[in-house]
Amino acid sequence: MPLVLATQAPGEPEIFASVQGEGPSAGVPVAFVRLSRCNLACVWCDTAYTWHFEGDPRPHRSGATWERTTNQAVLEVAEVAARISALGQCRLVVTGGEPMLQAGPLAELLEALPEMTVEIETNGTTRAPVRLDARIAQYNVSPKLAHSGNAAALALPPERLAAYAADPRAWFKFVIGAPGDVAEVLSLQREFAIPSGRIFLMPEGTDSATLRARQEWLVPLCLKHGFRLSDRLHIHLFGDTRGT
């Protein structure tokens, strides 16, 4: 079964080398592969071209929709593996969209890259089958809070949050748009016993000025609650662009 990828230009799959911009591996040189499709619809999503296609009624603050055929590329697993290997990196970040919607072919891809240390970026709503889970060194779990526009019943399934909280490979990265969002993080932390040291707070924003402004009030909240701060290095380095 092939993989459905996002594109960084029409017909060009979004497979590239860069430094990880967020979370516990920030600054580490990595290979990225971005898969298409998502089961959630965040109103502020900065990769809406992976899911908000023409005809999709779910809201997005841009008001834009994207043409599916130019924003998706379907490639055989062997070709994706060859493109990733050619980048010459030893760490792979699988992102999206929601990568685990394609768990079967994704597991096949990772088995074709046994030398790679793999981290996967997920919204935390799905479970990796055993074949895929065995290849994951790090889960970057980003549960979506109320300000994302997703219903809690869909975005915050208790059994999945509990499983990730119990998994030492899982780090939690919460997107924060306003100081009040942190109260929701604290509630989830208490309910699922998530260690403070595995929680990152990351400002929502797609430009440096917005990120810096929000970090001014986010840093004191991290200090108060013992959480880590995640910047978005790729935004400062490259702007809000694909393939970076």
Specify the pLDDT at position 141: 98
Specify the pLDDT at position 48: 98
Fold of 3-171: TIM Barrel (3.20.20)
What percentage of residues in the chain have a pLDDT greater than 90?
99
Give the span between the Cα atoms of 232 and 198, in whole angstroms: 17
Specify the pLDDT at position 191: 98
Using pLDDT thresholds of 50, 70 and 90, give the confidence band for residue 72. very high
Using pLDDT thresholds of 50, 70 and 90, give the confidence band for residue 67. very high
Give the span between the Cα atoms of 89 and 114, in whole angstroms: 13
Give the span between the Cα atoms of 58 and 195, in whole angstroms: 34
Q: Three-state SS for 186?
A: helix
Using pLDDT thresholds of 50, 70 and 90, give the confidence band for residue 156. very high
> Which string of DSSP letters, residue by residue, matches 99-140?
GGGGHHHHHHHHHT-TT-EEEEEE-S-S---HHHHTT-SEEE
Q: Three-state SS for 201?
A: strand
Specify the pLDDT at position 184: 98
Specify the pLDDT at position 50: 98
Using pLDDT thresholds of 50, 70 and 90, give the confidence band for residue 16. very high
CA count, 13 A, side-chain hemisphere, 62: 14
Domain ranges of the chain: 3-171
Structure tokens at 228: 């880590």
pTM of the model: 0.97
Interval 197-203 mean pLDDT = 98
> Which string of DSSP letters, residue by residue, matches 225-244?
HTPEE---HHHHHH-S-TT-
Give the span between the Cα atoms of 147 and 124, in whole angstroms: 17
